[in-house]
Amino acid sequence: MNDDSTLLVTVTGRDRPGISARLLSTLSVFPVTVVDLEQVVLAGRLVLGTVIDVDEGVAPGVSRGRVFEEIRTALDKTAIDLDMEVEYSAGNGRVKGVGGNRLRVTVLAAPLRPGALSALTSCVARAGSNIERIERLSGYPVTSVEMDISGGDTEQLRAELAMEASTQGVDVAVQASGLQRRGKHLIVMDVDSTLIQGEVIELLAAHAGCADEVARVTEEAMRGELDFEESLRRRVALLEGLDASAMERVRDDIQLTPGARTLIRTLKRLGYECGIVSGGFTQITDGLAESLGLDHSAANTLEVVDGKLTGKLVGPIIDRKGKAVTLEQFATEAGVPLSQTVAIGDGANDLDMLQAAGLGVAFNAKPVVRQQADTAVNVPYLDTIAYILGVTREEIEEADLDDGSHD
C-alpha cells in the first residue's frame, strides 16, 4: 500500500442494532481519523463505508501500511463475530470535497422502472456530473428517489434530464442543494384544478344555467383571444341574478385534490407556512383557508346585493401579475425570502407566480406551463410534491398519525 494512501473499509451484512457502534469501536483503538463516512440500509441489508487515514498528530512518522494491516486483522475478527462481510481498498490520499455546483434531483414515477433510472443517470454522466447519493423517499402512491449530484455542466444536466423525463414518462425536479432547503419555507398554491378538482366558476355557471356560455369565454381566453381580466369579467357578468345561496351549494360540492390535506398537514408540521392565491372568489377560498388551517389566502370577490350576484367584482383583480405580487406579499408577511418560496399551479395565469418563486411546480398543467416551470408533476396526488421538497413517506405518515387522520 502506498504510504500516501487512505483506506476505504466497506462492511455489508444483515442490519441490526449495534453494528456501526461495534465496528467503529474496533477502529477507535488505532491512531487514525475518519475522513469520510456513509451508511445505507436497503431491504434490511446494511452497507457501511468509511475512509480512514493515519493521524500524524498522534503517531508521527508511523507507517500507514503497518497501521492499516493491523486494522485489517482487527476488523476481520469483528466482522466474523458479527457475521458481516468486510472489504478494503486503497484511496489516493486524503478525500477532497467535490467542487462545482451541487444539485438535488428528485425522480417521481408510478411505476419507476430500471430503464428510466438508467436513462436519467446516463444524463448525469454526459453532463460530467457525479452521483454522490441515491435515496428512496417513497414507495407509494408513487415511487420517488432523490439523488445528490455534484460538478458538471448544470444547464446541460437540467436540459437533458427534462428531455429524458418526458421520453421516459417520469417527473424530474432539479434544485440547488444546500442548507437553504432546510430553512423556513412558504408554499403557495393555485386553487382551481390544483388545490381542488375542477373550476369554481364552472360550478357556479351550472347553477346559473349558463355553463355553455361560460365555457365559450373560457375557450377564447385559452386561445389567447382575451386576457384574464376581460375573460373573468365576461364570465362573472353571466352570473348576474344568481342567488347567493348557490355559493354555499358549490362550497359543499367542492372536492379537494387527492393528497391536498396530507401535503398541507405535513408541511405545516415541518414548519412551513401555507397559502392559496386564486383568480376565483373569496366566497369559496375563505372557507377553504379556514378548514385547511392555511396561513395566507387571497382571491377576487363577487359583488352580492340583496342576496343575489350582481355580475360584478369588488376591488382589484387578482390576475396573472397579481398572483406574483401576492406571492411576494405573503413572503414578506411570513419573513421568508422569495428564494425559499414554492409556488404550485396549472394554468398560464400562474406562470408569473411560478417564475417568481424559488421553486415553481406545474401540477398536471397545460404544456406551456410545464415547459416554463422549474419542474412538473403529472400524477394526480398533490402530496407527491412533498417528495420534491425532500420529505419522506415516513414523515408524511408520522404527520398523519399525529393528526389522527388521512386523505
Please identify every residue annotated as catalytic: 190, 192
Cα dihedral across residues 385, 389, 391, 397: positive or negative: negative
The three cell numbers of residue 93 are 490520499
**Burial readout 282-313 (b: 16 or more C-beta within 10 A, e: otherwise):** bbbbebbbeebebbbbbbbbbebeeebbbbeb
**Is the peptide bond preceding residue 31 cis, with omega within 30 degrees of 0?**
no
Residue 203: Cβ-neighbour burial (10 angstroms; 0-12, 13-18, 19+): buried
Which is it for the CA torsion 320, 326, 327, 328, positive or negative? positive
Closest CA to 126 of 157, 164, 166, 82: 157
Strands 273-281 and 186-189: parallel
Q: Residue 160: name the closest of 199, 121, 218 by CA.
A: 121
Do strands 296-305 and 273-281 pair parallel, antiparallel, or not at all (unpaired)? Answer: parallel
Q: Which three cell numbers stand for residue 351?
A: 406562470
C-beta separation of 340 from 358 below 8 A: yes
Measuring CA to CA, which residue among 142, 91, 100 is closest to residue 124?
100
- The candidate with the shortest Cα–Cα distance to 248, out of 290, 203, 211, 289, is 203
CA distances 303 to 98, 241, 374, Å, are: 59, 11, 36
Cα distance between residue 389 and residue 105, in whole Å: 10
- Distance, in Å, from the CA atom of 347 to the CA atom of 217, rounded to the nearest integer, reads 16
